[in-house]
Structure 1
Amino acid sequence: MNLVYLCGSIIPSRAANSVHVMKMCQALARNGHSVTLLAPTKRGEYEPGVDDVFEFYDVKRIFELRKLPCPRIKGRSIIYAVAAAWAVQKLRPDLVFGRYVHGCALAAWMGYPTIFECHQPIWEIGGIHHAFFELLRRGAGFQKFVVISQALKDIYLEEKDMAPSQIVVVHDAADDPGQVDTPIPLIEESKEALQVGYVGNLYPGKGMEVIAEVAPRMPHLTFHVVGGVESDIADWKQRVDAENILFHGFVDQTDVPRYMAALDVCLLPNQRSVGTYGSGNQDIGQYTSPLKMFEYMSHAKPIVASDLPVLKEVLSDGNNAILCDPQDPDEWVEALRRLEGDASLRRRLGTQARRDFEQRYTWQARARRILRLTHSSANSGTPMPA
């Protein structure tokens, strides 16, 4: 199938949405489809020092990336949407799929079968996005709407007059790391100590609040924080008085599996309110589906995670994770003590997490599921444009 993916993400950047876009395009291509990714040209906003975008995201060059105009002027989103619609018209794809509502709306109105994916309530992004979403829903080519959690689907069903069958829940995913032959040597002199890790950004609510409380109470363990921008790292170093927290900073995507392979336990300490990259006061805690959760699972790591409804859509206490009250450090200390003293428990939790990952949460499985769930409607007679 000839497929066009539309995104509004800054590529390359450290933002999770850009990682998601690149991984999905690779997954769709690996499933045998011809994929063209359309992304905006946002000069001055890219991650500096990136020579090869595909290498930066650790994806294969098996799909085409085209940059379209998005000048830094008022109305830039409309300019980019029109450019994307024009590119779609020239490419004449069998399917348009993406996370850019402006372009997806125009593609649907031109009659191209269109699947739109969104990871938050669209009306919280802004009025123009909400207006284009309403336009999208009425487009002749609109097929399905993809969200990343049942919690987010429930929010849309409560707010919008949409049939449940129009909204598809497909959780996020991760790459299969395979066998990591050269894990990062974390601390040579303390090989017997449990190496506890957090991988991800340090935005408010991501969980450094928990680590800052737990680490000082368990000085014999080493806590590794992988990721975060320099300003956030500097802030937490000032706020936390614990020599057993090591901040490794941002690492290349190619090195992330090497860090994860070296960890004994992985933490997912999301709070009830969670911020995002460049989001201001936006809160995604109720419906987020963190990429790192699936990365932990892919490495067969025992996970200690927050006992939150949205995370429990994937994680089950005592089965593939240990779940703790996100605001009770005592529970996290107790969970780590259990895992420290019980290697068989660590193995059992990690093995089940890996088994669940293999069955449902690889990027290729995610791409197949989306297309399978939308296949019947995409072939239900929607005419292609003449």
Structure 2
Amino acid sequence: MQVHIKELVGALKRRDHRIDMVGPKAQKTDGGRSLTGFLGDARAHMPAAFNEMLEAGYNLKAYRQLLHSARAHQPDILYERYNAFLLAGLWAKRSLGIPYLIEVNAPLCHERSLLGNLALKGPARRMERAVWQGADAVLPVSDALADYVRREQVPDDRITVIPNGVRTELFQSVRRGSLRREMGFADKIVFGFVGYVREWHGLDQVLHAFARLADPALHFLIIGEGPASAGLKAIASELGIGHQLTFTGARPHEDIPALLGVMDIALQPDVNDYASPLKLFEYLAAGCAIIAPDRPNIREILDDGKTALLIDPDHPDDLSRAITALATDFDLRKKLGAAACDLIGRRDYTWDGNARKVEAIAEKLLARGAAI
């Protein structure tokens, strides 16, 4: 289960709501391999349009599953995380007559079209529009993403922006642990990044900035791996700073809070224009000074010079200047880190807060009998 789904479900359960999860279940082949993985490999060799028809065909199974669960559990609300080609939730809302809330994390038709991964563009867009217009409440994770929903003629009174969040108790003591000393960073200024490492992140700029600063106290900690990892290691070696770069490899999410507590500065070099990056909220909760892209969706969360340093992701020199500023200014690091941690509480960027918002929307819909 993905982190944000697990955390929102957990927060709703802590508020004494019963959650009945309906979705595809992992199955094993005779050889013990995941059936989902096996089918995924097989679909990679099939025409895109055929794969998308299979996606649409899943609606029949999903709709039956939803009706079966509804008969067994009598839900008050149907909450769905939006996916392309998925109409089953909308059909179930109409059959059951209960309010239908849909969480939107990305404009998937637009996203897949840009990546060249959408063959049936017309049907996909019509299905997306039908779902967004048919929901009683649409919950995009950023206002920039809400603009995509508005363009599909969904009225503002049915749109509520709910960004991602954190479970703050996981981060309360991360600065007091021994991990920093155990990793050999006790006397270091640690820059860090969490995630899948791609070329367009521009993390090589961190290494070039380190080489220019020539400060052996600087260290770059990358929690994750990816296609750019080998290149970064090679660059660090060429620059003579290989000893200032550490890769932990991919780590389970439960390890992330303690690892963030090791970092002084956390990097979110670039992001698309509608995302609500989960790691950004975790950086905030850990009290890291943050470098992030100056994008509209990021400005919804961060203020340049107050809670982060925002950079133009299209100009690598901006990242280099921000790295230099934070590497050489202890007071700035301390100020931004404290403000970041405070921001989580002030704006309630928490999973418990998100659960309260979802609950309030659901209660309002139930009170006025929103479902038709």
**Gaps in structure 1 of 5+ consecutive residues:** 1-10, 12-17, 51-67, 275-284
Q: CA deviation at 1:189?
A: 5.1
Alignment of 1:95-244 (within 5 A): 95-100=77-82, 101-110=86-95, 111-124=97-110, 125=112, 127=121, 129-137=124-132, 139=134, 142-158=135-151, 160-176=152-168, 177-180=171-174, 181-185=176-180, 191-203=186-198, 205-208=200-203, 210-211=205-206, 213-220=208-215, 221-229=218-226, 231-234=227-230, 236-238=232-234, 241=238, 242-243=241-242, 244=244
2:133 and 2:154 in contact (8 A); partners too:
no
Match of 2:297 in 1: 310
Moved more, 71-80 or 89-98: 71-80
Paired residue secondary structure (1:254): helix
Paired residue secondary structure (2:105): coil
Q: CA deviation at 1:200?
A: 1.7
Q: Is 1:252 paired with 2:252? A: yes
1:122 and 1:130 in contact (8 A); partners too:
no
Give the root-mean-square deviation of aligned CA atoms.
3.1
- Counterpart AA for 2:331: S
Match of 2:352 in 1: 364
* Structure-1 separation of matches of 2:92 and 2:178: 45
* Structure-2 separation of matches of 1:103 and 1:77: 9
Match of 1:77 in 2: 58
1:195 and 1:222 in contact (8 A); partners too:
yes
Higher strand share: 1
Q: Structure 2-normalised TM-score?
A: 0.78
Moved more, 112-121 or 176-185: 176-185
1:345/1:238 Cα in 2 relative to 1: closer, same or farther (>3 Å)? closer
Q: What is the CA deviation profile of residues 9-54 of structure 1, one whole-angstrom value per residue up to 9, with x for unaligned ones?
A: xx3xxxxxx2111111111112221112223124469xx999xxxx
Q: CA deviation at 1:193?
A: 2.5
Q: What is the CA deviation profile of residues 314-367 of structure 1, one whole-angstrom value per residue up to 9, with x for unaligned ones?
A: 000111111122233333333233323332322221121111112320111112
Paired residue secondary structure (1:304): strand
User: Percent identity of the aligned residues?
Assistant: 24
Q: Which has the larger radius of gyration?
A: 2
Moved more, 197-206 or 164-173: 197-206
* Structure-2 separation of matches of 1:161 and 1:203: 35
Higher helix share: 2
Q: What is the CA deviation profile of residues 138-165 of structure 1, one whole-angstrom value per residue up to 9, with x for unaligned ones?
A: 65xx31001011111112223x122112
Q: Is 1:30 paired with 2:21? A: no
Paired residue secondary structure (2:136): strand
Q: CA deviation at 1:306?
A: 1.6
1:300 and 1:354 in contact (8 A); partners too:
yes
1:165/1:369 Cα in 2 relative to 1: closer, same or farther (>3 Å)? same
Q: CA deviation at 1:263?
A: 0.9
Q: What is the CA deviation profile of residues 282-330 of structure 1, one whole-angstrom value per residue up to 9, with x for unaligned ones?
A: xxx1111111110011011111112222111100011111112223333
* Structure-1 separation of matches of 2:146 and 2:133: 19
* Structure-1 separation of matches of 2:27 and 2:331: 51
Match of 2:51 in 1: none
Q: What is the CA deviation profile of residues 93-132 of structure 1, one whole-angstrom value per residue up to 9, with x for unaligned ones?
A: 1111121443321222222211001112243355555444
1:120/1:257 Cα in 2 relative to 1: closer, same or farther (>3 Å)? same
Q: CA deviation at 1:228?
A: 3.0
Q: What is the CA deviation profile of residues 153-210 of structure 1, one whole-angstrom value per residue up to 9, with x for unaligned ones?
A: 112223x122112221111111212213535337755532311111122245445354
How many residue pairs end up in the alignment?
A: 331
1:38 and 1:84 in contact (8 A); partners too:
yes
